[in-house]
Structure 1
Amino acid sequence: MHDHARGLSSGAHRRPLAVSLALTAAVFAVQVAGAILTGSLALLADAAHMMTDAAALVVALFASTVAARPADERRTYGYQRAEVLGALVNGVVLIVLCVWIAVEAVGRLSAEAEAEIAGGWMLAVAAAGLVANLVAAWLLRHAQKQSMNVRGAYLEVLGDLLGSVAVIVASAVILLTGWTRADAIASLAIAVFIVPRAIGLLREVFSVLAESAPRGTAVADIRAHILGAPGVRDVHDVHVWQLTRGAPVFTAHVVVDREVLDGGGAAALLTNLQECLADHFDVAHSTFQFEAVGHEDRHNAHR
């Protein structure tokens, strides 16, 4: 007995992803040209981050499209995990990028001679990147709350937005003081901002792949709610996991008074339990196995 009432996530986020990708790709090209023209490492780092933004958006768009495919007899839950795999790629790319930025920045800071940087062009290109990232972040702000995959792309856009701010500050310092090492410091600041968010994303990915209970979900509370339903005597084999962000799955064996089953009350009890999980725990997919008192199936019970 199960409930699909709330459904699982779909590919509804493809349009904002596509528009964000077009913006990101255009600004990336401008930033690469600007980095070559100005000699700015921070701008080049921001362009590299913008490139990973574009790659993340491509992966997110692809994963969102794949995840929207319906379930079939071989993949009975559909393709929801494609979003998780997309988020995994994004997180790994972010970590690699941060290492590269840090190495390059330290090299410039330790060099005896300061690099020649055109602060004016650096400022103009960084400002264009800031505007583009603001638009992309605005487009993805709602979708990232519902999809882990989109959240990975959103975090990259957000990181690049603040990266653009760092480049703008560095370019202002260069224009006002001529101190070009501010460029390398801005590069390190970008890396420091990105790393914790990338690690947080990877932790969430590994939690889903390990089929851990969703954050904030207390199995004991769910069990208590089920035991509070009329006619329920016990509950065991309780399992809660996620297919992807916002798609929790629940299964349990519920021991019920024989009078409830013999008297035709199973349907009413099932509705009661489904509404309880949907209203109190926002569970997208719930499955119950009803068992009469004295006939519990505990052969493989884990809880």
Structure 2
Amino acid sequence: MKHIIVPIDFSKESLNGLRLAILFANRFDSVVQMVHVQKFPTSLTPGQFEEEEKIIEGKLQKLVEEYSTKMENSANLTYIVKKGKIYQEVVNQAHAFEESAIICSTHGASGFEEFFIGSNAFRIISATQCPVITIRHGSMPRDIKKIILPIDVSADTRQKVPITTEIAKAFDAEVHVIAVATTHSEEVDLKLNAFTKQVCTYLKEHDVRFQKASLRGDNITDITIEYSLDVNADLVSIMTEQNFAISDFVLGSHAQKMLSRSPIPVLSVTPKEVFIMGSFKTFGSDY
């Protein structure tokens, strides 16, 4: 997580994303880059567009002056102004760096609100394989001390373990490995037991404190959120359950519900296309 990209529209909600990014940057010694995207094409004349750009850069510079004092390395807070579609430009900027992540609010003003809410709500997550951490209004944690790691019976469920482990080590956080399912069956139980055992072994080998739990319920999202609130968790780690649609990647229903409902920040990890039984690679980490 050498670079953290933060979409900024100057709303209070988008500044929560910046605050969360700084929290992570101070643990990972990351460069935080704020990205503001001007809509393009625009009805403004060239002169008006340039004037608007100057105003935007002035606002971003003020944010640098204010928030760089909260960084362990004040030089690690930068900004860039781009033109185009918000999700595309944010993702493109993240892809310009190695080991990058995106941290953003799920609510915002003007174009951001249109982007995050509605049919295009999760396009930024669907368009990248970088880890994305989202934060809803009012859910800003002071620290990351407990991380919820739901494990289900899908082939991709363990791909989020390496990046979750890296975050846990950076914050000296405790990971709660929770086996989640909507049904009881011998096949499900055997697979969940095998997966959780593998995950716990990995955490132990990497000196990460952990607890185990098993949850059953009609709605995996609800039982995960309820457990997270019960233990005062600071982060929930999920796979985005991307399915190949006719024209694009779309998020699965569980990921959409978690991102929409969770009062706790959510780490979203995109499944890698290649998975080898018993081992996998994700974001440069071996597992």
Question: Taking structure 1 as the reference length, what is the TM-score of the superposition?
Answer: 0.24
Higher strand proportion (structure 1 or 2): 2
Higher helix share: 1
Greater Rg by CA: 1
